[in-house]
């Protein structure tokens, strides 16, 4: 019985990179997917179906089992804490989570305000540091917050550091390294064990061989 595995992926760059990995792992995928507006893309030759979601939503689809597997950034995994297996580090889309703020900003407040797209990660991090903070949730352009006085510091992902620099912010503390992870629904992990194990192993071999080259 050849079942189709449903794979939830973030739209955009990660999708491109992941599809490239799958091709290299031997999955017969068409050279390009031009249906850029489609949310569901079937790749019957490879026995795969992709659903394209917002990065933050990928673990939700996988937890509820409407997708068997997914590709999600570690940042999203930390923020969402979904009940899914995190089976493989794909080592793509590398970046890190960090605390940033104005260069000479001195927190005078008892509880400084922290703006972030990752409120759970931020509160968890500062609690671990034993610091009392107030977290404000924003959905994007986080760098604005300290510039116009909404927050004292921010927690966000940094890849090159250019956005921070251009906005006159400096990185203060690093929280965690981030890469994309292959995640699996717990029931699918057993029901489609053979197919999923095969996929994981093929990708693992590929990722490890790339590591060796570096």
Partner 1 sequence: MSKPFVFEKPAGMRDTLPAFYQNNEDIKNRIKQEMESWGYQFIQTPTLEYYDTVGEASAILDQQLFKLLDMEGKTLVLRPDMTAPIARVVSSSMKHVAYPLRLAYSSPVFRAQQREGGRPAEFEQVGIELIGEGTASAEAEALALMSEVFKKSEIASFTVAVGHIGFVQELLSDILGNDDRAGDLLRYLNEKNYVGYTSHVKMLPLSSIDTQRLLKLLDLRGGIEVLDEAFSLNPNRVGQQTLQELKDLYHLLEDYDAAQNIVFDFTLFSHMSYYTGIVFEGYGAGIGAPIASGGRYDDLLSRFDRKAPAIGFAIRMDYFVEALGKKKDDTKRQCILYTNERRKEALKLARNKRGEGKRVVMQNLSGVKNIDEFSKRFDDVHYLIGTQQGEDFS
In the complex, the residues that contact partner 1 under the rule CB under 8 A are 63-66, 83-89, 181, 185-188, 190-191, 193, 197
Q: How far is the CB of 155 from partner 1 (least distance, A)?
A: 20
Closest CB to partner 1 among residues 28, 186: 186
Dist CA 76 CA 133 (whole Å) = 21
Burial readout 131-152 (b: 16 or more C-beta within 10 A, e: otherwise): eebebbebeeebbebbeeeebb
Q: What is the rounded CA–CA span in Å between residue 50 and residue 108? A: 49
Nearest distance, CB of residue 191 and partner 1, angstroms: 5
Among residues 3 and 159, whose Cβ is nearest to partner 1?
3
**Minimum distance, C-beta of residue 32 to partner 1, in the bound complex (Å):** 30
Query: How far is residue 210's CA from residue 42's CA, in Å, rounded to a whole number?
Result: 28
Q: What's the closest the beta carbon of residue 146 comes to partner 1, in angstroms?
A: 29
| Residue with Cβ nearer partner 1 (66 or 111) | 66
Give whichever of 43 and 62 is closer to partner 1, judged by the CB atom. 62
Spatial contact of 137 and 119, defined as CB atoms under 8 Å apart:
yes
Distance, first Cα to last Cα, the chain: 39
């Amino acid at each position: 019985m050849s079942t189709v595995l449903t794979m939830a992926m973030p739209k955009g760059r990660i999708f491109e990179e992941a599809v490239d990995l799958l091709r290299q792992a031997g999955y017969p995928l068409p050279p390009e997917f031009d249906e850029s507006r489609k949310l569901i893309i079937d790749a019957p030759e490879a026995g795969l179906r992709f659903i394209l979601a917002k990065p933050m939503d990928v673990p939700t689809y996988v937890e509820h089992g409407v997708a068997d597997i997914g590709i999600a950034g570690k940042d999203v995994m930390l923020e969402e804490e979904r009940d899914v297996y995190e089976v493989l580090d794909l080592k793509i889309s590398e970046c890190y989570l960090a605390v940033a703020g104005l260069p000479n900003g001195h927190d005078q407040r008892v509880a400084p305000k922290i703006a972030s797209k990752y409120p759970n990660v931020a509160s968890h991090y500062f609690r671990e540091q034993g610091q009392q903070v107030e977290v404000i949730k924003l959905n994007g352009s986080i760098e604005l917050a300290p510039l116009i006085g909404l927050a004292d510091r921010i927690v966000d992902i940094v890849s090159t550091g250019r956005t921070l620099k251009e906005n006159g912010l400096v990185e203060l503390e690093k929280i965690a390294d981030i890469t994309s992870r292959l995640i699996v629904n717990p029931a699918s992990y057993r029901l489609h064990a053979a197919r999923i194990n095969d996929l994981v192993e093929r990708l693992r071999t590929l990722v490890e061989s790339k590591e060796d080259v570096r």
